[in-house]
Structure 1
Amino acid sequence: MSVGEEFFNRKKAELGVSLNDVQKRAVLNTEGPLLLLASPGSGKTTTLIMKIGYLIEVVGLDPARIKAVTFSNASAHDMKERYQRFFSTLPPVEFSTIHSLAFQVVREFFYKRQIQYHIIEGTDPAPFNKKMLLRDLFKTFNQKAITDDQLEELLTYISLIKNKLLPKEKWSSISCDVPNALQIFQKYERFKRSGADQLLVDYDDMLTIAHQAFEKDHALLTKYQRKYDYLLTDESQDTSLVQHAMIEKLVQNHQNLCVVADDDQSIYSWRAAEPQYLLDFKKVYPDAQILMMEQNYRSSQDIVSVANTFIKQNKNRYNKNMFTENAAYVPVKLKTLSDYQYQANYLVEQIAKEENLREVAILYRNNASSILLLDALDRAHIPFYMKDANNRFFSHWIVEDVLNFMRLSYDATRVDIFERVYSKFHLYLKNSHIQQMKQQPNSETVFDRLIKLTDLKDWQREKIAICRKHYKQMQRKTPFQVILLIRGEFGYEKVLRNMSEKLGFNIDYLLEVLNTLEEIAKSTNSMVEFANRLDHLASLLKTSKYNRQQHAVTLSTFHSSKGLEFEKVYMIDLIKGVIPSQTEEDKLKEGKREEMEEAVRLFYVGMTRAKRNLELLSYSKRFGKAVAPSKFVLDVKKIVHPEKVHHHAAHKTTILKTTGKGRKNGIPDNPNAINDPAKLQVGLKIKHRVFGTGEITGLTEDTLEIRFKKYSKTLSITTCLEHKLLEVVE
């Protein structure tokens, strides 16, 4: 028996851990570079820990000379805990993030050069606070306060430039929707280095400075190269160029490197992840071995086969074939609801039947999807854990605007409240008008004071009079009616559209916030109750983090769900424009596949979180507008129900063979007829041979709803396609 087999047998007896052939090969490969491509649920962490144990127990490496680099502190902790459980008698091994390693290097590099520095991440006061510094710089360049969303985008923009190691002359090649983003970044970089006493350093600087240190200080690099005999990196599909470059330098001499990754799960390119690096691994390490861990131990046969077929539409990937020996359980379920407003209630009804909520997850692309969910779950007394507890919905400026509109109705003399929203009334008021108002008697309403101003136009006075009339009636209205009033009569929605055009805001997202507030308002009876409801939900969102590992359903974005697994997974809001986004579709039309391929990978990550139950949810209408299902839902539908597609194709062949002159039962053949069910989408304008021109307003697996001029019809998809009854109206 070989020493390897002896090791595996011993560990199987001690731990009950049994490795498959590829996992064993990965453990036994102890010299030179190794790329280990690990499909979802393939046991990569177990394999990594077993490999470390083998390096120590069999190869004889000193544990202190093994370095394991992980993507996050959480995964470093998880690996450390599992190592201690598997090899409790062995000395510790160093598990850390790449940032932690970089910090060690930077600290030593600066100490040798007697350079003072201050880390500006965290909650220190200005100017030692990165976010406060960027807020101040934004205000300097744009004469207004930055929104939370803009700040998040600016932070991502800065991180992207640094992690890609872009030189100054190429900074402008990175686009950012934040006004004057490049100028803010340039000023930010100058400011951090302008202090006479010390440098200001952020987390991204740690990486770039550590990389520079290795290039400039040969002695320092040599020290770290000699410090480790073997390096392992986990989740390397999420690693940026600067991080890859640091690892390359560390293993330059001995090349003893194990890179664990899955190119099919690379979903952070917007955060500078470089999946192409994995595809070019042999160019960097010509002698590298590449092993594919394709066996999935997590999911049922139904889920694995669908996900494996789905991901193959991507071209820029390793040709892997994920498989499982797990039995089939239930097919992947596709559910199309008639309207978005039914989605949250449907989920509540389904989840209320579950006994173990810890094994249920609801996944979505955007955090905005979670708000109505947590409202519905709370009303149904279903506990939940929100993975992304930093959701900023309830602090969004639109929420504050709506509440200020409402607050004014309780005391219309409050100039201080009116001053916060006067620019949102679509009245074209100036700050000078507000200052004039403040000189008038406090007992009058803001609208009475406004009408007295001499420099207003007649149309402005007319609109102010209308606003005054509505404000007198507002407390008799429901919160839902009040929001409609704010959007329409007060002109708030027009203001939002104008702001979006001028400032580059995403108007669809802003309207989404408004629409969500409307839905929450429908279940409240007064403006005070509505405001209290928002406060309650905001508090629930913050405290939901304490429900982790409790009897609670998990809510998470697709991005944050990576690494998790659940018995039952619902993927929701699967409509065109959300996933893939309109930008991703537009890029694909331009011949740029990168963003669409990442969207495919993101969807794949969501699907592979499920063990035995996976349900994909879409709908036909959203806030009164027809919407189309996600292209990815249609892709999955073809995989799950191939017989329907094949049936239509086969039937078409039969007609061609048997109709002779293009007729069957006296019905003329229509060469322009729709014959592919995937082309049927909500919102598509079609012509029906019998009923005329209409628009598809609803879809299920078997039927479609079409609104014609005078009526709507629910028709069989099979019948329409077999008899060539539909064609697209151009």
Structure 2
Amino acid sequence: MPVDSAQKKAIEHNKGPMLVLAGPGSGKTLVITRRTQWLIEKAGVAPGNILVVTFTRAAAGEMRNRFDRLMDGRHLPVSFGTFHAIFFTILKHAYKYKVENILSEDEKYGVLRDIVHQIDVEMDDEKDFLMDIAGEISRVKGDMLSLEHFYPSNCSKDVFEEIYEAYSEKLKRMRRLDYDDMLVQTWQLFRDYPHILAAWQKKYAYILIDEFQDINRVQYEIIRLLAKPENNLFVVGDDDQSIYRFRGAKPEILLGFSKDYPDAEMAVLNRNYRSTGAIVKRAEQLINHNEHRYVKNMQAVREDGEEIWVKAFKKPADQYVKIIREIVDAHEQKEIPWEEIAIIFRTNVQMSGLVEQLMVYSVPFVMKDSVPNIYQHWIAKDIFSYMNIAFGGTSRTDYLRIINRPNRYISRSYFDEDPVNLSNVKDYLENREWMVERVEQFEYDICMLSSMGPYAAIQYIRHSIGYDEYLKEYAAYRGIKSDDLLEILDELMDKSHAYETWEAWFEAIEKYSETLKIRSRQRFEETEGIRLLTMHGAKGLEYALVYIPDANKDISPHKKAMTESDKEEERRMFYVAMTRAKNSLRIYFTRERYGKPAEMSPFIGEFLAF
């Protein structure tokens, strides 16, 4: 396959550092594999002295396979691997670690759960809390921060430090290391033992890094040490596709590469071989609104093709039905394979509405990212516990779950019987008239709920019982935004509209939950059906027909994007989603959401240039 002039410049770069800016569809994998071949065949570099680093095992496997094909099937000893795989190999040599020393993600959450229970952290959303804490621990390690200068966003500084130190101590006692420790310990090893560093510098004389925009601080510091003294460091990335800041990625590292290596050469791969001219043009108009970036002036190799479709709908359900009808038509009339159709969402939470409709219309689909089941959310479980009791349930679990949501100041100790008998509870409280009144008010509310359909019941729980106020108080205690919690209730109410009875809704919920469970076990690459992805999950993929639904303000850009750098990252995510499309791109938004007015995403105005 012939290469263009920019690709040729990158492939045939001789020695020293080089930054390759590779726009969407510009052939970066080809450049990395061809350069590896060139180093061996033209520059005389021994294959065992070349290291190619990727960010995922799948990418490393694909790169290795393409390189092997390029070398006519010869399996040369070039090292292809992720940062974690390469660095764990180094640690194995130094410390005799085995695979058994690695802490799995499930084990990690188990350790954190035990610690949180031991120090008695008060929270109602354990799963979310543990995920947030795990993410912040990872950030401390990846950014090489001291605890003293780190301020968590999910709990108090004191609580976070106690959890962090207990977690670190537990891993030391177990002689286990998590994935972030692989990086930190490799950096410490190289810093403290120059002779070990020198041996690995000699081993990996030429280093090539893919997706360089996703590198974090500790990864970069290790690579800088490893590349010395020759600095034969060849990095390929696209600052416009840096969308993993939440995982610790530092796009500023790519932007500052030329300062760290003033003698670095640069190649700009700005020819898009994937998308039509219309898609490339609109995507370029969008990303040009970002200020902190390298200008690339991406050009399409292909013809303009059809213009991007932008459509408005009244509400999300209308939009989803339209999408389904269009993709069925595209499959049946235009013979586009299901696997060449993708629907890309800003977050996986948004997918549930479309998933329910796809089930109704029996359209095959597969999800790359797991979709959180809203009916398994702790807030939904609270609502269902209220209704279980309203329908005559006497489970102690249901009572304990909601008796103080909102706070009725009734001790859990009064509910030690299972099944619960409220008459007995009132007998225990006969000398505390004010508490008896609260139990009687609870009984009255339960009686009211028993005659209500889903929508009216949720409304009553929220406003008459005071559940909304409870969520606001809880959000303030946790230091999170109450809007995020209230939106769960908004979505539940929105879904409840379609059902007159709880029986009908519970039946639909059971069917939906079972299907979701089955779909989550399917292998994305091997399953027939349209592709449902998030903007993060879509990176590196391409499809003939792409939809971006819910292109609304507060979704894209997300309402949590407060700073200018946050908004630039949101724009990069939208850019990544747009540039997944090869032939057709359709972007839809709605005029209302959860019964409230909704605005079009400002990104639409930017790429349409009005």
TM over 0.5: yes
Residue 397 (structure 1) aligns with: 378
Write out per-residue CA displacement over residues 356-385 of structure 1, whole angstroms, 9 at most, x where no aligned residue.
221111112122101111111111101111
Residues 623-658 of structure 1, C-alpha deviation per residue, up to 9 Å, x if partnerless?
1111222111221232xxxxxx5xxxxxxxxxxxxx
AA partner of residue 382 (structure 2): D
Query: Which residue is equivalent to 2:282?
Result: 306
| AA matched with 1:576 | K
Native 8 Å contact 2:366 2:529 kept in 1: yes
Preserved contact between residue 414 and residue 445 of structure 1 (Cα < 8 Å): no
Aligned residue runs from structure 1 range 2-41, under 5 A: 17-41=1-25
Preserved contact between residue 16 and residue 232 of structure 2 (Cα < 8 Å) = yes
Asked whether the equivalents of residues 386 and 402 of structure 2 are also in contact (C-alpha less than 8 Å), the reply is yes
Q: Which structure 1 residue ranges, 5 or more long, are not aligned?
A: 1-16, 124-128, 588-592, 639-644, 646-730
Structure 1 residue 103 corresponds to structure 2 residue 88: yes
The question of 1:632 aligning with 2:607 is answered no
After superposition, give the CA deviation of every residue in 1:414-445 in whole Å (9 maximum; x if it has no partner). Answer: 34422221122x3x32342x533557996667
Aligned to 2:296: 320
Residues 461 and 467, structure 2, Cα contact 8 Å, conserved in 1:
yes
Q: Which residue of 2 aligns with 1:130?
A: 108
Write the deviation string for residues 241-267 of structure 1: whole angstroms up to 9, x where unpaired.
111111111110222221010011111
Q: Could you tell me the TM-score, scaled by structure 1's length?
A: 0.77
Q: Distance in 1 between matches of 2:99 and 2:326?
A: 58
Partners of 1:421 and 1:86 in 2: CA distance: 63
Per the alignment, in what secondary structure is the counterpart of residue 510 of structure 1?
A: helix
Aligned residues of 2:396 and 2:419 also touching (Cα < 8 A): no
Structure 1 counterpart of 2:141, one-letter code: K
The reply to whether residue 169 of structure 1 matches residue 148 of structure 2 is yes
Q: Which residue of 1 aligns with 2:137?
A: 158
Q: Which residue of 2 aligns with 1:338?
A: 314
Q: 2:550 aligns with which of 563, 566, 573?
A: 573
- Partner amino acid, structure 2, of 1:148: K
Which amino acid in the other structure matches residue 541 of structure 2?
A: L
Judged with a 3 Å threshold, the aligned counterparts in structure 2 of structure 1 residues 205 and 146 are, in CA distance, closer, same or farther, namely farther
Find out whether 1:611 has 2:575 as its counterpart. Answer: no
Q: CA deviation at 1:460?
A: 3.3
* Native 8 Å contact 1:450 1:464 kept in 2: no
Q: Which amino acid aligns with 1:436?
A: Y
Q: Which has the higher contact order (CA 8 A, sep 6+)?
A: 2
Are the aligned partners of 2:209 and 2:234 in contact in 1 as well (CA < 8 Å)?
yes
User: Of 414, 417, 420, which residue of structure 1 is paired with 2:401?
Assistant: 420
The one-letter code matched in structure 2 to 1:147 is E
Paired with 1:203 and 1:463, the residues of 2 have a C-alpha distance of 51
Counterpart for residue 120 of structure 1: 103
The letter of the residue matching 1:55 is L
Contact preservation (8 Å) 1:363, 1:561: yes
Question: Alignment identity in percent?
Answer: 29
With 143-152 and 99-108 compared, the bigger mean Cα shift is at: 143-152
State yes or no: 1:410 paired with 2:391. Answer: yes
- Cα distance in 1 for residues equivalent to 2:63 and 2:542: 17
Cα distance per residue 1:42-87 (max 9 Å; x no partner): 0111121111122222323222221110011111111112222222
Checking the alignment, whether the CA contact within 8 Å between 1:386 and 1:554 is kept in structure 2 is: yes
- Tell me what 1:272 maps to: 248
Q: Distance in 2 between matches of 1:368 and 1:195?
A: 33
C-alpha separation in 2, matches of 1:435 and 1:100: 51
Contact 2:190/2:197, CA 8 A, preserved across alignment: yes
Structure ID, larger Rg = 1
* 1:613 Cα deviation after fit: 1.3
Amino acid at match of 2:115: L
Aligned partner of residue 319 in structure 1, secondary structure = coil
Distance in 1 separating the partners of 2:50 and 2:558:
43
SS at match of 2:297: coil
Aligned partners of 2:428 and 2:310: how far apart in 1? 56
Are residues 212 and 484 of structure 1, via their aligned partners in 2, closer, same or farther at CA, if it must alter by over 3 Å?
A: same
Q: Is the 8 A contact 1:239 1:274 kept in 2?
A: yes
Residue 443 and residue 146 in structure 1: after superposition, are their counterparts in 2 closer, same or farther (change >3 A)? closer
The letter of the residue matching 1:130 is: K
Is 1:84 the counterpart of 2:68? The answer is yes
Give the structure 2 partner of residue 512 of structure 1. Answer: 487
Structure 1 match to 2:28? 44
The partner residue of 2:353 within 353, 362, 372 is 372
Scaled by the length of structure 2, the TM-score of the pair is 0.91
Residue aligning to 2:183: 207
Corresponding position of 2:476: 501
2:534 paired residue number: 557
Q: Which residues of structure 2 form unaligned runs of 5+?
A: 332-336
State the partner residue of 2:334: none
Q: Number of residues paired by the alignment?
A: 601
Does the C-alpha gap of structure 1 residues 562 and 486 become closer, same or farther in structure 2, counting only changes over 3 Å?
A: same
Out of 81-90 and 180-189, give the one that drifted further. 180-189
| SS of structure 2 residue aligned to 1:560 | coil
Aligned equivalents of 1:235, 1:269: Cα separation in 2: 13
Q: CA 1:440–1:525 in 2, change beyond 3 Å: closer, same or farther? A: closer
Q: Map Cα deviations across residues 231-285 of structure 1 (whole Å, 9 max, x no partner).
A: 1100010000111111111110222221010011111122221111112112222
Equivalent position SS for 2:196: helix
Superposition CA RMSD, Å:
2.7
Once the two structures are TM-superposed, the CA of residue 299 in structure 1 deviates from its matched residue by: 0.5
Alignment partner, residue 599 of structure 1: 570
Contact 2:88 2:182 in 1 (8 A): yes
Cα distance in 1 for residues equivalent to 2:533 and 2:509: 20
2-side partners of 1:115 and 1:380: how far apart? 49
Q: Which moved more, 1:352-361 or 1:129-138?
A: 129-138
Q: Determine which of 531, 539, 548 is the counterpart of 2:506.
A: 531
Distance 2:214 2:585 in 1: 25
Q: 1:199 to 1:183 in 2, by over 3 A?
A: farther
Secondary structure of 1:59 counterpart: coil
How far, CA to CA, are the matches of 2:276 and 2:390 in structure 1?
57
| In 2: Cα distance, 1:626 partner to 1:281 partner | 44
Q: Distance in 2 between matches of 1:263 and 1:442?
A: 59
Q: Secondary structure at the match of 1:67?
A: strand
Aligned with 2:26: secondary structure?
A: coil
**Is residue 134–residue 184 contact of structure 1 (8 Å, CA) maintained in 2?**
no
- Partner SS for 2:150: helix
How do residues 672-687 of structure 1 correspond to structure 2 at under 5 angstroms?
Answer: none
Residues 23 and 269 in structure 2, CA contact (< 8 A), matched pair in contact too: yes
**289 and 531 in structure 1: CA distance in 2 versus 1, 3 angstrom threshold:** same
Task: Kindly indicate whether residue 24 of structure 2 is the aligned counterpart of residue 73 of structure 1.
Answer: no
